[in-house]
Amino acid sequence: LAKTTQPISMDSYEGQEVNITCSHNNIATNDYITWYQQFPSQGPRFIIQGYKTKVTNEVASLFIPADRKSSTLSLPRVSLSDTAVYYCLVPSSNTGKLIFGQGTTLQVKP
């Protein structure tokens, strides 16, 4: 399983773009990169997933460089409701297991 490393916390203000970078140096060829968001007392919510280059959906963008050893989740124009813990994960392509790290606690201030 690829281990991931991301900042423990980040602060931002409403309306700003937030970029959270995650490193996954030992990612395997078939592995995807997945990001989840978790609010207190709720299960994680899927945000975005990618394999290479750039993926965009209605919520976020995910940038993955050619070597795939890192990825950056980009949240455009955050609001107070984006305050949450964000997890970068690389599921095992064989077992599907997810091993959660500490995640990044994003605090959005008014």
Partner 1 sequence: GAVVSQHPSRVICKSGTSVKIECRSLDFQATTMFWYRQFPKQSLMLMATSNEGSKATYEQGVEKDKFLINHASLTLSTLTVTSAHPEDSSFYICSARDPWDTETQYFGPGTRLLVL
Give contact residues for partner 1 (rule: CB under 8 A).
32, 34, 36, 41-46, 49, 87, 91, 93, 95-103
User: What letter does residue 69 receive in the DSSP assignment?
Assistant: S
**Rounded to the nearest whole angstrom, what is the least distance from the CB of residue 35 to partner 1 in the complex?**
11
* Residue 68: CB minimum distance to partner 1, A: 14
Residue 91 identity = P
User: What are the C-alpha distances in Å from 1 to residues 40, 67, 71, 81, 95?
Assistant: 26, 17, 16, 32, 10
Bridge partner list, 52? none
Residue with smaller CB distance to partner 1, 79 or 93: 93
Around Cβ 64, how many Cβ atoms within 10 Å?
A: 20
Which CB, 45 or 109, lies closer to partner 1? 45
Q: How far is the CB of 57 from partner 1 (least distance, A)?
A: 11
